[in-house]
Structure 1
Amino acid sequence: MAEEKGHERKQSLQAPTDTTRVEAPVTVKAYLMCAFAAFGGIFFGFDSGYINGVMAMPYFIQEFEHLDPDTTPKDKFVFASWKKSLVTSILSAGTFFGSLIAGDLADYFGRRTTIVAGCVVFIGGVVLQTASTEVGMLVAGRLIAGFGVGFVSAIIILYMSEIAPRKVRGAIVSGYQFCITIGLMLASCVDYATQDRDDSGSYRIPIALQMLWALILGGGLLLLPESPRYFVKKGELDKAAHVLSRVRGQPKDSELIQQELAEIVANHEYEMQVIPQGGYFDSWLNCFRGSLFKANSNVRRVILGTSLQMMQQWTGVNFVFYFGTTFFQQLGTIDDPFLISMITTIVNVLSTPFSFYAMEKIGRRPLLIWGALGMVICQFIVAIVGVTDGQDKKAVSAMISFICIYIFFFATTWGPGAWVVVGEIYPLPIRARGVALSTASNWLWNCVIAIITPYMVDGDKGNLGARVFFIWGSLCALCFFYAYFLVFETKGLTLEQVDKMMEESTPAKSSKWKPSTTFAAQMGLADAKESAEEVEHVA
């Protein structure tokens, strides 16, 4: 009976032939839903940012290194490099595995449920961190919190991409990156306010405050709908129609809702016919099937998504946000490194809203190309000035200025752009796992950078100092060529049209591609030739 009902429901959908009417109009409520979901970026950013200042706090060093500030020489009164590396990177390690797990959870239990579960796990990790007085418990807490951040960071992008209106999807997903920058700034401000406390509140207040962001996000999401594309994937078309009605502000049985639902169903049906079906391991293997020489194959999309997130980390921006305070301390001529670190996070916040406009007006591909070029120029200037006259106060001021300009280029291009593209390039059958793999790649390279950077720049290790920007600049040059040759333009297309565009176009020509038909019309023609039994898998 359930299969017959699902099949009848599927047959009753109105297949649109007009490619401009594959999505119903949207309301202010839809924008507010997506904007609230982007709030997940705040605790992601706060959790990544608070550790930057905490590791330079006198009381924290005294407590965790068991040093006496009155008798220990100033150059020895520091948090050990290996501990700095471990404490910073362990969050990313937990997030890497959390992201991978999240893909399965999102397909089985839903996008919204997975995000809420991530908030609960995250709070457990924060409780351990707040109670810690030794490195071991701090590391354990950050590892557990990392799993929670992995759930949220992987699925929040997926969730927003699946419910956001196509014309502003890039701007709304960019809001997630904006919230990350707000989280980083708030963490820096709280660190600045508590740094001089001579008690455990100096580091416990920044840590414990993270629970507030998780409670707000988790509680609020319980009031938001599940993704309509998740219900289509599960064959629950009535629920999908109900969610679309709620998000688009149209009656459930309206022509517009039925046409948009028909396009989503038809695209999923097409992909299910193309992608071999099987058990659990086969469903993971589907992510890696297809030809390396076909841009729309699953394996090429996974490579594109994972390498795009890798490149985002290679820009080196997290060096500034993770280790900026201790790096500015090493320059020697800065009176208040905490203040400079806070300024860099403020620049990050103020710059990101430009991407809301640029992502839809200019497009994803041009922003990634020119953003990489801008970062290359700034980073090489910082490195050259640091090498030639790094101890002069004016030279240091110039370095800080170009670091801020470099952050502007990142915040308006690669920061939000990588997340936007990753949320758009995967077909529905592998979308949850594809986004999870891409996010896991982000955190894997985040972890690698967090591990190796202290050994590269600390005075008792590699002692690269400002020369490290030669490395980041060279990697940004690779980002420039990567974006030019491999990134598609997805501006203004539905997720289903992105799927078609990657099949028919190339990165260089993608900005000029226009849809000529809809999946619903295409599959409607196919249905006339097929028996009902062959298409009932949609139900």
Structure 2
Amino acid sequence: MIIGNLYAISAIAVIGGGLFGFDISSMSAIITTQSYLCYFQQGAVNVDAQGNPTCTGPRPDVQGGITAAMAGGSWLGALISGFVSDNLGRKMSIMIGSVIWCIGSIIICASQNIPMLIVGRVLNGISVGICSAQVPVYITEMAPPTKRGRLVGMQQWAITWGIMIMFYISYGCTFIKGTASFRIPWGVQMVPAILLFIGMIFLPESPRWLARKDRWEECHAVLTLVHGKGDPNSPFVLSEYEEIKTVCEFERQNADVSYLELFKPSMLNRTHVGVFTQIWSQLTGMNSMMYYILYIFAMAGLEGDNLLVSSSIQYVINVCMTVPALLWVDRWGRRPTLILGAIGMLTFMFLNAGLMATYGHAAPPGGLGHIEAQSWVIKGPASKAVIASTYLFVASYAITWGPVSWVYPPELFPLRVRGKANALCTSSNWAFNFALGYFVPPAFASVAWKVYIIFGVFCTAMCLHVFFMFPETAGKTLEDVEAIFTDPTGIPLIGRPAWKTKNEFRSGAEREQVGFVDGDEEKGSNGAVVQHDEASKM
């Protein structure tokens, strides 16, 4: 039995995003525990005044490398995912990613030393790179325009759920003595990948990918299943089928697609926008906060169970604050959401920097708890303000850049390059994730609170960049988005200000007010027919 409900299809596919979330908190909840620190200890063990040994674990640069290994693998996985997806299909590429994740998790769970741990995390990263690049493409090619943002944004929601669930599993395992305290959560990571693989068996392939492979009967069958409620003659199904057919015939007249295609004049602008969407999502500092939140809250005076529980609150905030974006991001539009998110994040980054600089002081030599990255101390009411500001920063990201950074890039590109284009964009995300994962522990050790200033400057830059260069794509068909960048003959359009592009979202009630009903035609900005099915009504 093949599943045809769009929400069920998306719910299964975005488990691939949950894998990344599981990885984040499988490290963040464990890196300060004594069982982890002692097992992967580098150098001599410290002894406190009472003669009790205190392990310091890996050096800051080595811990950064362990954390960043996953992102390094993800960069590679995202790049190769374009070839895998274009040749084997969106569905098969996601299934391959789930198998690789299980192999990596087995190696991590059995790790006997740091190199073995890094190898396992690189394999997990390859899996995450494949899934994070191709799940948005798969859902984008399935969804109608008015639900595309919501459905693709579910990937970010799955990431937040993965972070939260794995953190609490890891937290519970900290009460177990010995290496089982980190081996159990690392082994549990395989469960969602197994569920993803099984679930994908019952999902259809992307109709647009099938069309590119001249499998037209299967393409029509998938459109009928997903959009036509079993009626192959549904007006929306017929219109969508003809539109896909027209686009495929036009694109076949172009040369074979390679990554070089993305840097030609007709593609360069949208490639730049898509790549920087993913780069900026990392330079917000959000994932660095997620990986190393225990360092930050330890510097704010929390310790023991209070440290772990207080850190977990941000994961709950992350899950809850993603929901409004899923519900209304198509109505809000991409540009306003990204700009307001950047303003909120830069505010709280600079606020934290000011609080740390004004009310904090350097930690004792060697850092708090002999962890060099915990190099600053702030206590009293100011420390509570730092914690609150961190929570608000997470909320600002979760409702804006978190989901939109996955929704936006696949919308920018035509069918013939979409798989490789989103792979390139996502690989940029992972390249910067790798750099920041490696950079943050040594940065905290050397420049302490000034790390907040660095991320605050990045948030300021991204706000300006979005305003001047990122066009609005909400409410448009994937084919209609093409008119933002090229004229009907395919010649690049130059000089169209991004801030003059508009959100074309219309709810079901709004369409009925202007005379549109199910199956009626509506003209997009390029004059192309835009069809709305009953399922796209809100």
The answer on whether the counterparts of 1:321 and 1:341 sit within 8 Å (CA) in structure 2 is: no
The answer on whether the counterparts of 2:14 and 2:154 sit within 8 Å (CA) in structure 1 is: yes
The answer for unaligned runs of 5 or more in structure 2 is: 361-377, 488-495, 505-523, 532-538
C-alpha distance in structure 2 between counterparts of 1:384 and 1:74, whole Å: 36
Determine whether 1:345 maps to 2:319. Answer: no
Instruction: Return the offset for 1:73.
Output: 7.3
Identity rate of aligned residues, in percent? 29
Instruction: Return the offset for 1:318.
Output: 1.1
1:265 to 245, 252, 269: 245
Provide the secondary structure at the position in 2 that maps to 1:447. Answer: helix
Tell me the residue number matched to 2:412. Answer: 425
Instruction: Return the structure number with greater relative CO, CA threshold 8 A, min gap 6.
Output: 1
Determine whether 1:300 maps to 2:269. Answer: yes
Provide the secondary structure at the position in 2 that maps to 1:243. Answer: helix
TM-score by length of 1: 0.85
2:75 to 66, 91, 96: 96
User: For 1:224-303, what aligned pairs fall within 5 Å after superposition?
Assistant: 224-248=203-227, 249-273=229-253, 276-278=254-256, 283-290=258-265, 297-303=266-272
C-alpha distance in structure 1 between counterparts of 2:185 and 2:70, whole Å: 16
Evaluate the alpha carbon distance shift between residue 323 and residue 466 of structure 1 in structure 2; reply closer, same or farther with a 3 A threshold.
same
Equivalent position amino acid for 2:500 in 1: K
Query: Could you report, residue by residue, the CA deviation over 1:455-477 in whole angstroms, capped at 9, with x for unpaired residues?
Result: 1002xxx1x33331111111000
1:64 to 40, 61, 78: 40
Give the structure with the larger helix fraction: 1
Instruction: Return the offset for 1:36.
Output: 2.2
Tell me the residue number matched to 1:441. Answer: 428
Equivalent position amino acid for 2:255 in 1: Q
User: For 1:45-84, what aligned pairs fall within 5 Å after superposition?
Assistant: 45-65=21-41, 77-84=56-63
The answer on whether the counterparts of 2:342 and 2:459 sit within 8 Å (CA) in structure 1 is: yes
Equivalent position amino acid for 2:24 in 1: S
1:317 to 286, 300, 308: 286
The answer on whether the counterparts of 1:48 and 1:184 sit within 8 Å (CA) in structure 2 is: yes
Provide the secondary structure at the position in 1 that maps to 2:150. Answer: helix
Tell me the residue number matched to 2:14. Answer: 38
Query: Could you report, residue by residue, the CA deviation over 1:96-129 in whole angstroms, capped at 9, with x for unpaired residues?
Result: 0111111001000000000000100110000000
1:119 to 78, 98, 103: 98
Equivalent position amino acid for 1:317 in 2: M
C-alpha distance in structure 1 between counterparts of 2:309 and 2:219, whole Å: 49
C-alpha distance in structure 1 between counterparts of 2:526 and 2:418, whole Å: 24
C-alpha distance in structure 2 between counterparts of 1:110 and 1:44, whole Å: 22
Tell me the residue number matched to 2:519. Answer: none
Provide the secondary structure at the position in 2 that maps to 1:511. Answer: coil
Determine whether 1:29 maps to 2:8. Answer: no
The answer on whether the counterparts of 1:266 and 1:520 sit within 8 Å (CA) in structure 2 is: no
User: For 1:363-374, what aligned pairs fall within 5 Å after superposition?
Assistant: 363-374=333-344
The answer on whether the counterparts of 2:259 and 2:421 sit within 8 Å (CA) in structure 1 is: no
The answer for unaligned runs of 5 or more in structure 1 is: 1-26, 291-296, 522-539
Equivalent position amino acid for 1:339 in 2: V
C-alpha RMSD of the superposition: 2.1
The answer on whether the counterparts of 1:376 and 1:474 sit within 8 Å (CA) in structure 2 is: yes
Evaluate the alpha carbon distance shift between residue 470 and residue 246 of structure 1 in structure 2; reply closer, same or farther with a 3 A threshold.
same
2:449 to 466, 470, 478: 466
Alignment: residue pair count: 480
The answer on whether the counterparts of 1:102 and 1:151 sit within 8 Å (CA) in structure 2 is: yes
Provide the secondary structure at the position in 2 that maps to 1:474. Answer: helix
The answer on whether the counterparts of 1:96 and 1:443 sit within 8 Å (CA) in structure 2 is: yes
1:133 to 112, 129, 147: 112
Provide the secondary structure at the position in 2 that maps to 1:400. Answer: helix
Query: Could you report, residue by residue, the CA deviation over 1:399-442 in whole angstroms, capped at 9, with x for unpaired residues?
Result: 11011111111000011111110121111110000000001000
Query: Could you report, residue by residue, the CA deviation over 1:292-340 in whole angstroms, capped at 9, with x for unpaired residues?
Result: xxxxx21222111111100110000111111111232233355532222
C-alpha distance in structure 1 between counterparts of 2:269 and 2:461, whole Å: 19
